[in-house]
Amino acid sequence: MKSTGTLPFTSEPIQTDALVIGAGPVGLFQVFELGLQGITAHVVDALPYLGGQCIELYADKPIYDIPALPVCTGRELIARLEQQIRPFKPAFHLDQEVCELRRRDGGGFDVETSRGLRFQTQTVFLAAGVGAFTPRVLKVDGFEQFVGKQVFYREPDGKDVAGKDILVLGEGDDALRLALTLARTNGDGKAKSVTLMHRRDQFKASAGLIEQMREACDDGRMRFQVGQIIGCSAVEGQLKSVSIIDDLAHKSELPVSWVVALLGLSPRLGPIAGWGLDLDRKQVKVSTADFCTSEPGLYAVGDINTYDGKKKLIVCGFHEATLAAFAAAAYIRPDEIVHLQYTTASPKLHQLLGVSPLGN
């Protein structure tokens, strides 16, 4: 296992027995199974919310193959998992990617996130699915240097919009909602101009937002432009305008102070590929006895792993997380025998779950 890149050390490392990378359904159930073993977990996710693919890709669509839940949406499944793991009080660290993982001399792992958070952990559970969900970025020559200053891939909250020419890119709810919010700002704090731009005059946003956007354009509070960015101009290190091309191949220049590109999220395996793990076509190879990777103490569960017969289903990930938790308990406490106990009958598990023996 090797390290990738370096980060500024901004805080004392958090000491923990278990770190779960990924707060999708399998990462959340991993917290539950670890909790039953008396192991408290920290959880990191690149998204600013829990749920992985269930929330990002199909929050309001029905799932029919979760045992004993004939039907539930992605959102409902995640809400139920959140409720189920609550007794174990996991610590969530969201909106940050785990970008570095290396083995510590003498056991355990050093882990660092993109926000400079550091962990020293006995075990790691890679529940990273199809990769970290990160914003789609624009590929425009010269744009990179303005990211975070004048080009944003998330809503630039807390920043002053007064007097600015703001170009919002996107076709979804987030882009339309932001353009409308900016167009609504009145008084001294008002943006100078707000333009929404998309490749075509069709949107994925909800009908209500599209209607409001059209009204705002008719009222002159904002404008909509069909087109895409093909270049940019800067003066003394400041982004001043973008070159755009519309659907009829007409080119023009648009003055901009900020570009906010809300183009959706896409999964990216990212740094995991550089951690020296045994991979097969971007998936982590595991043993099916304990879902351990080629590194002792590092387990991979859910969509990120591969083995003979692997099926990328939530129920399979739940099984994997169960066996990984048993294995981790034996790894962390090698002098103890890990007994199988039933949640119906075990006073120890009742205590961990915070329920009374009568189940009320």
Ligand X SMILES: Cc1cc2nc3c(=O)[nH]c(=O)nc-3n(C[C@H](O)[C@H](O)[C@H](O)COP(=O)(O)OP(=O)(O)OC[C@H]3O[C@@H](n4cnc5c(N)ncnc54)[C@H](O)[C@@H]3O)c2cc1C
Residue numbers of the site for ligand X (CB under 6 A)? 21-27, 44-47, 52-54, 57-58, 63, 65, 97-98, 127-133, 270-272, 302-303, 312-315, 317
Nearest distance, CB of residue 159 and ligand X, angstroms: 25
Q: Closer to ligand X at the Cβ: 36 or 54?
A: 54
- The end-to-end CA distance of the chain, in Å, is 47
Closest C-alpha among 322, 265, 327, 281 to residue 136: 265
Q: Closer to ligand X at the Cβ: 168 or 272?
A: 272
Q: Closer to ligand X at the Cβ: 82 or 246?
A: 82
Would you state the structure tokens that stand for residue 181, as one six-digit string? 């919010």
Q: Closer to ligand X at the Cβ: 230 or 315?
A: 315
Nearest distance, CB of residue 5 and ligand X, angstroms: 13
Amino acid letter for position 192: K
Bridge-partner residues for 20, per DSSP? 43, 125
Nearest distance, CB of residue 110 and ligand X, angstroms: 15
Report how far residue 226's alpha carbon sits from residue 242's, in angstroms, rounded to the nearest whole number: 14
String of DSSP letters for 294-309: SSTTEEE-GGGEE-TT
Is-contact 111 19, C-beta < 8 A?
yes
Give me the residue whose beta carbon is nearest to ligand X: 129
Rounded to 10 degrees, the C-alpha dihedral 270/275/276/279 comes to -40
Nearest distance, CB of residue 62 and ligand X, angstroms: 8
Q: Closer to ligand X at the Cβ: 136 or 312?
A: 312
Nearest distance, CB of residue 314 and ligand X, angstroms: 4
φ, ψ dihedrals at 62, nearest 5°: -80, 145
Nearest distance, CB of residue 52 and ligand X, angstroms: 2
Q: Closer to ligand X at the Cβ: 227 or 302?
A: 302
Report how far residue 106's alpha carbon sits from residue 114's, in angstroms, rounded to the nearest whole number: 25
